[in-house]
Structure 1
């Protein structure tokens, strides 16, 4: 055997490597051919043909959000292969409703709310406003569901008629907010010393780490804003369904007896309470819609167009180049943290960059900052607030539209706008900051570990969590938190034309509904995104129809744009489905809901501090 001839082991390993390499190239080529096929079908199929007498089916899937948290390629591939979508953008729902109201090819709308897993009350108000404008066109709205929780039911209640599966249920239960409390587990069981530094007796975000249950201030504040939102919910349902709100509340409180009276038939109970107009199975509902409209023999149902297909059709109809002045919308959705972060979160660097991009675009005449955030780090919040201030100073109107929540840091980034809009059911306020520092010397001692040593100054090693926290250092941290709170209320007072003393009366970490905040002068007007956009345009001297709406987001690469556009084509999606390819082949994990509590404290401190100051509100419903 030659010296250069590999031995049996090397030949075996080389063979394995060649096999793996071949498999890798094969999979890559198959994926590439699959993508090319979708693009070609999309290019030459001409897209869906929207016929007359169509029904727009509004069926939100997953969580309704301001901005997708998954990357565009993941969504496009999942959509191409017919996978359920975990999120639906509010802007897409609003755009489809608005376009359909004036589209002669759409004769009615069907709402299917039961695949919607979550939506905020402020978003529901946005949808009600859009559907009210749709109803003025004279077109019918019908809702059907297999079963509904109270948020799904609100969406259904916006229809002229509601039909429920005979075995379905409408569950209205009220609002609640319960949290786990860890004091005993952390301090008594594990020996962790928890040091909370805060200003404001109502700043309850970190109470679970130091108490066994909510403080009286927390109970009082939570019930105050929750009762306001719940009362508005009942009033809205009563108005939409021509019921009495007090009677509706009584029936919810008396649920066990109501179920017994209906013989356990939850569908009949909903019918008797006039929450729905009829009980029918899905095939019966399809037959009803065929009778009122046109049958589509190919799908054995009524002629219909799904929201995504309808929007894809509108995109192809749209002029390729719109030279009108722009009103830009920047979305700030999710927790506020330092750095350059992806969509679905608010980054001190990334969100600031989007605001700066809008400010420096000569074709953008006004900016709307859409905020749906419980807050987060003080430092990144201040970075974003400064960009709002600079945009206003540059002479471009900037209007804030608060979504479901703009609390604590979410209010911080909002306060310097020319005008602030909030829905009555928006959760806002929570003006306050806190810091949480945990030390573990007792925990270590339980397993026989002791920490000791020397330092060159009195504070050297003071922020080591394995050592007890010095009272003097604790006082220092509290002084910094106090200063941060003063800075917060002084900035609010300056932005709102008030005084720190007046702001302090409605601050101290207390949460308010949008309607309550408007009474206290924390917001200017009650209204939604539609109102905020109109106000921004008005301030820029742009009349209706004289401007284009432009969402400022991270730009897609040319390849990503081709794929995303292609998967909006029904024929291309059909090809992907018939190929029988599993969605797992290209699936990437979709961003999950960010962990609360400790996640904020685990992330690195900002501004050079050895600890983190947080402006966060744990006040979601």
Structure 2
């Protein structure tokens, strides 16, 4: 028996050594490949004369990458598809190409483009319009065009589509499931506490359909989005907005009248110029370029890397992304804005002498009240230190995200941004009836009358419910007061337009909830002006999401992920997500589940913009 145990221990050590050795070899191989790729790419490709800028975005538009540069480099080496298109890289490349005499024209391949919000799409469409205004033609192609993809394609001089394709423009809508009937059937009661007439985030759990107040609110911003879409597409294609409205409203009837030939319908409606396959499209582009495409093409990412200016100035304007739901906690969470890492990032800028001003690039529906308060305090510390803070709002800057934004010196929003949503809500579940249906009874004893009030297994006592509503009312009053102070408005003035209502950027400007309509470039220029920096006397430092590492620290973070997953060092949902990510499996669902589990705790107050869109 002793000999057998010695043999087993020896085999265990051998296998452990082999595993560690293989892991070290893999790590070294990946490190060598990444270093080679980084240093090789730093040389940048040459830009040929008469070049064709190839824009073929794959994935959906984002303001900031959800993964670090090193993790994306690893993904590239493992040939994983990229599903994020950084708006800044795309628009910067297009704008530089518009001024570059070596670039003759652009191809816009939208076959693998997954779209984005109306606000994100219009930012890219603006850059395409500037390229065309510079006298350089754009050739667009897709087998079929989604509504989002067509907003970009409409800016092209020549729009090609496959003979079996469709231009799918249907408008915007806000639809979501309502769970009250199901919850009633299974015996779950959701106690909802809110302050704000339009704070409708609780409705899916307390109603069977949209309330009149929520319908009024949603109808307003949906009409803003749709008017903006129809007006832009019509102007780009030389049509009237009513024609786009009619196409979307009567699409089924128009398809029937065209005998099902959706491509010919799109051509007759003036939405596409040429119905043809990819080969014919390539021939047309080569003819316009005057040379074979193999010699003339340069991908927009390669062009961006080859032509990106390297600022030598010491003074910096730092751009900080607040991208995702706001949550508490000391660790970074993919897809969310965690208060701990975000506060540390802002406080580092506070003590960085090179950083003269800060721009918050906000794209968030809000989130935890406590976390928003912590981040807001860090913004105020920056301002107290004499460093201007300017906000650039993207698609969303609502609720807790607006609470943070209101502490800044100047606020910029796009016309289609959804912002404000000044309100608070709380949801507390009660599953005692559901347990009873399963034959489970709950009983016990406590030292005070309030013991057990935090448990979802027991009904909520009236006095506890009253206390919760009082706390929600207090948080709302504090929220309104903070906005009034930050915006230099009266409490009643803010309260009148608050009430948990999300406003478009256009309306927010009218209501004095933001200062200007504009994008990130306007915000950066204004921040530099407030810091008394000359237009050519500063650099712009785009920071990664809080918690992401740069340089070799980022490599160590990515290697740590691989090591933890390979050695089984992760546990529970985190370990599963790490392993799925390492193997290229769809880890997003696991990540979202982890985030939900972290957030679903009793008395967790959250605030979101009541928005669900189809495109």
TM-based fold match above 0.5: yes
1:371-419 deviation digits (Å, cap 9, x = unpaired): 0000110011111111222222221111100001111112111111111
1:190-209 deviation digits (Å, cap 9, x = unpaired): 11121000011210111111
Does residue 366 (structure 1) correspond to residue 363 (structure 2)? The answer is no
Name the structure 2 match of 1:277: 273
Name the structure 2 match of 1:555: 549
Does residue 185 (structure 1) correspond to residue 182 (structure 2)? The answer is yes
Does residue 303 (structure 1) correspond to residue 296 (structure 2)? The answer is yes
Give 1:87 deviation, angstroms.
0.8
Give 1:258 deviation, angstroms.
0.8
Query: Which 10-residue stretch deviates more, 595-604 or 203-212?
Result: 595-604
Query: Which 10-residue stretch deviates more, 63-72 or 394-403?
Result: 63-72
Give 1:148 deviation, angstroms.
1.1
Give 1:345 deviation, angstroms.
1.6
Partner SS, residue 383 of structure 1 = helix
Write out aligned runs for 1:94-173 (5 A). 94-173=91-170
C-alpha distance in structure 2 between counterparts of 1:199 and 1:498, whole Å? 20
1:413-445 deviation digits (Å, cap 9, x = unpaired): 111111111111111121101000011211111
Partner SS, residue 588 of structure 2 = coil
Structure 1 38/201 Cα, relative in aligned 2: closer, same or farther at 3 Å? closer
Name the structure 2 match of 1:234: 230
C-alpha distance in structure 1 between counterparts of 2:553 and 2:35, whole Å? 11
1:452-486 deviation digits (Å, cap 9, x = unpaired): 22222221222122111100010000000000000
C-alpha distance in structure 1 between counterparts of 2:452 and 2:102, whole Å? 71
Equivalent of 1:505, from 483, 496, 499? 496
Aligned pair count reads 588
CA RMSD of aligned residues (A): 2.7
Write out aligned runs for 1:317-328 (5 A). 318-319=309-310, 322-328=312-318
Contact 1:74 1:587 (8 Å CA) reproduced: no
Name the structure 1 match of 2:22: 26
Higher share in helix: 2
Contact 2:314 2:538 (8 Å CA) reproduced: yes
C-alpha distance in structure 1 between counterparts of 2:386 and 2:300, whole Å? 38
Contact 1:372 1:404 (8 Å CA) reproduced: yes
Contact 1:169 1:267 (8 Å CA) reproduced: yes
Contact 2:399 2:423 (8 Å CA) reproduced: yes
Write out aligned runs for 1:77-96 (5 A). 77-96=74-93
Name the structure 2 match of 1:39: 35
C-alpha distance in structure 2 between counterparts of 1:597 and 1:500, whole Å? 39
C-alpha distance in structure 2 between counterparts of 1:590 and 1:362, whole Å? 42
Higher RCO, Cα 8 Å, sep 6+: 1
Contact 1:193 1:440 (8 Å CA) reproduced: yes
Partner SS, residue 201 of structure 2 = coil
Give 1:591 deviation, angstroms.
6.0
Give 1:359 deviation, angstroms.
2.6
Contact 1:234 1:248 (8 Å CA) reproduced: yes
C-alpha distance in structure 1 between counterparts of 2:583 and 2:264, whole Å? 42
Name the structure 2 match of 1:570: none
Name the structure 1 match of 2:573: none
C-alpha distance in structure 2 between counterparts of 1:80 and 1:563, whole Å? 17
TM-score by length of 1: 0.88
Write out aligned runs for 1:124-523 (5 A). 124-186=121-183, 188-296=184-292, 301=294, 303-314=296-307, 318-319=309-310, 322-339=312-329, 340-342=331-333, 344-523=335-514
Contact 2:393 2:519 (8 Å CA) reproduced: yes
Partner SS, residue 200 of structure 2 = coil
Unmatched 5+ stretches in structure 1: 565-582
Contact 1:58 1:307 (8 Å CA) reproduced: yes
C-alpha distance in structure 2 between counterparts of 1:357 and 1:618, whole Å? 34
C-alpha distance in structure 1 between counterparts of 2:543 and 2:74, whole Å? 23
Partner SS, residue 307 of structure 2 = helix
Structure 1 341/258 Cα, relative in aligned 2: closer, same or farther at 3 Å? same
1:254-292 deviation digits (Å, cap 9, x = unpaired): 112211222211111111110111112111111111111
Contact 1:408 1:615 (8 Å CA) reproduced: yes
Give 1:549 deviation, angstroms.
0.8
Structure 1 43/563 Cα, relative in aligned 2: closer, same or farther at 3 Å? farther
TM-score by length of 2: 0.89
